[in-house]
């Protein structure tokens, strides 16, 4: 595989970012929103104003039910308003609390909403870190411009994210709890108070920081052994995304419509839907995570396979990208303990997985994303057949376990790596 394979179809490269930026800047200054020749203010983190809360709230204890409920946010949030006439207003750090929107707001009717998801980690060396958050900021720009929301410089969003983390991180992720994390949700909504079906004239960017449960911990089955994820392949009457659509953007419109299928999967005892695409039942993603298999080919090679980005029907996951890069750097050569992995980004048909499992060539499968981190898969149900995936190293297969350890060591500062971005804490 050529090293460039990851980047060729990606929008997270600097070329991709400047193309998204220029498209929008151009359309804004040339009248697409009914305004022409006006110099609009850019998003500028240095203009931030800060109002601190007068009623700080208690931090829930680790493992408490409130954390599982995913409804507790930290004391503050960041907001920044945009209008078509002026561009970006000064951002604000302010107490966490309700937003005020008119019932006509565009996002409530036309799904003009996009978001990001990333974590803030408390390291074993006592430091706070983000993981490759520059990629999340770049992806947010791409998602925003896909649905006619305003552009911004991703570096400014990253500074705003860091500001919130620096403010609330020290209290909400105490130094004496290394290995813990919070979840960041940068969001943008169109807030125009008018029902017209058109490019938004007003938008609100905000960033919140929430308590979040650990979703990658193995559960213990009835037989006492660790359980992996159970995936239910989607039926032929539902698809998540299609070429020319918006499956590659983190826009709310991708998620609401998937919840009926997800609810049914949960009721039937599965953790997530494995989304298939096309007549050949090609595997795309597992829930809101990218999907990987490790198998041996008939000619004896050991491959790490995941769906490609070129049709734009899957999300360009930061975790996906990191898995591919680490495996390329560290696992492509065989050692005395493990056989090297060939990295293959191509469409995988369900039939190929069924056959590999039948021949004993299916070695491992896992889901990869921020929320579920690296979660081993133990079973896939596909139209009447149960495919068992081995989890030979107890809670995962050896490759899955190794990849997960490498990533978590970078996130929690056990390995010092450029992907771990240290947040300077505000005392
Ligand atoms: C967020 C998301 C992912 C994972 O992306 P990460 O950047 O690794 O968190 C994968 N697929 C979908 C559909 C997603 O929404």
pLDDT band (50, 70, 90) for residue 36: low
Nearest to 99 by CA among 30, 194, 190, 215: 190
The rounded mean pLDDT for the chain is 91
Q: Tell me what the mean pLDDT of segment 353-377 comes to.
A: 96
**How far, in Å, is the centroid of ligand 1 from the Cα of 391?**
23
pLDDT, tens digit (0-9, with 9 covering 90-100), for 129-176: 999 999 999 999 999 999 999 999 999 999 999 999 999 999 999 999
Atom 1 (ligand 1): residue with closest C-alpha? 288
CA of 12 to the centre of ligand 1 (A): 13
State residue 38's pLDDT score: 64
Between the CA of 53 and the centroid of ligand 1 the distance, in Å, is: 32
Taken in order of first residue, the domains within the chain and their CATH numbers are 13-210 (3.30.470.10), 219-411 (3.20.10.10)
Name every protein residue with a CB atom under 6 angstroms from any ligand 1 atom: 117, 250, 285, 288-290, 315, 317-320, 369-370
**Tokens 């998602």 found at:** 143
> Which numbered atom of ligand 1 lies nearest the CA of 254?
13
Q: pLDDT band at 390, cuts 50/70/90?
A: confident
Residue to mutate, 370, 373, 411, ligand 1, most ligand atoms under 8 Å from C-beta:
370
Give the model confidence (pLDDT) of 236-267 as tens digits: 999 999 999 999 999 999 999 999 999 999 99
Checking if the pLDDT of 26 tops 60, the result is: no
- Rounded distance, CA 90 to CA 83, Å? 12
Determine the distance separating the centroid of ligand 1 and the alpha carbon of 371, expressed in angstroms: 8
Specify the residue with its C-alpha closest to ligand 1, atom 3: 289
Query: 391 falls in which pLDDT band (50, 70, 90)?
Result: confident
- How do 113-115 and 181-190 pair as beta strands? antiparallel
CA distances from 223 to 81, 120, 219, 226, 409 (A): 54, 35, 11, 9, 31
Q: Which atom of ligand 1 is nearest to the CA of 287?
A: 13
Q: Decide: pTM greater than 0.95.
A: no
Residues forming beta bridges with residue 204, ordered by sequence position: 81, 189
């Amino acid at each position: 595989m050529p090293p460039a394979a990851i980047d060729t179809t990606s929008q997270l490269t600097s070329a991709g970012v400047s193309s998204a930026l220029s498209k929008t800047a151009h359309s804004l200054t040339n009248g697409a929103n009914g305004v022409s020749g006006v110099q609009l203010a850019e998003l500028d983190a240095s203009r931030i104003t800060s109002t601190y809360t007068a009623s700080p709230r208690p931090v829930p204890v680790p493992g408490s039910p409130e954390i599982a409920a995913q409804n507790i946010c930290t004391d503050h949030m960041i907001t920044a308003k945009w209008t078509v006439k002026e561009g970006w207003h000064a951002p604000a750090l302010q107490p966490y609390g309700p937003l005020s929107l008119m019932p006509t707001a565009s996002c409530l009717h036309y799904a003009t909403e996009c978001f990001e998801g990333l974590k803030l980690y408390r390291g074993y060396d006592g430091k706070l870190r983000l993981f490759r958050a520059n990629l999340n900021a770049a992806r947010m720009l791409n998602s925003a411009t896909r649905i006619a929301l305003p552009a911004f410089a991703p570096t400014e969003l990253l500074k705003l994210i860091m500001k919130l983390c620096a403010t609330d991180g020290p209290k909400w992720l105490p130094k004496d709890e290394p290995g813990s994390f919070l979840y960041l949700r940068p969001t943008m909504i169109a807030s125009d108070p008018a029902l017209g079906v058109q490019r938004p004239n007003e938008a609100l960017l905000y960033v919140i920081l929430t308590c979040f449960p650990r979703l990658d911990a193995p559960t213990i089955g009835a037989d006492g052994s660790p359980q992996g994820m159970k995936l239910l392949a989607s039926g032929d009457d539902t698809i998540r995304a299609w070429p020319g659509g918006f499956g590659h953007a983190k826009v709310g419109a991708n998620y609401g419509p998937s919840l009926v299928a997800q609810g049914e999967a949960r009721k039937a005892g599965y953790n997530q839907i494995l989304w298939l695409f096309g007549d050949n039942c090609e595997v795309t993603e597992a829930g809101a995570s990218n999907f990987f298999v490790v198998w041996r080919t008939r000619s004896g090679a050991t491959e790490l396979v995941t769906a490609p980005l070129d049709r734009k029907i899957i999300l360009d996951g930061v975790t996906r990208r990191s898995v591919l890069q680490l495996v390329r750097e560290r696992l492509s050569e065989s050692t005395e303990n493990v056989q090297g992995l060939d990295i293959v980004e191509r469409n995988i048909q369900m039939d190929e997985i069924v056959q590999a499992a039948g021949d004993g060539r299916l070695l491992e499968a896992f889901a990869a994303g921020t929320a579920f981190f690296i979660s081993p898969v133990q079973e896939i149900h596909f139209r009447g057949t149960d495919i068992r995936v081995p989890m030979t190293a107890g809670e995962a297969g050896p490759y899955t376990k190794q990849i997960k350890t490498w990533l978590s060591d970078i996130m929690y500062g056990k390995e010092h790596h450029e992907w771990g971005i240290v947040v300077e804490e505000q005392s």
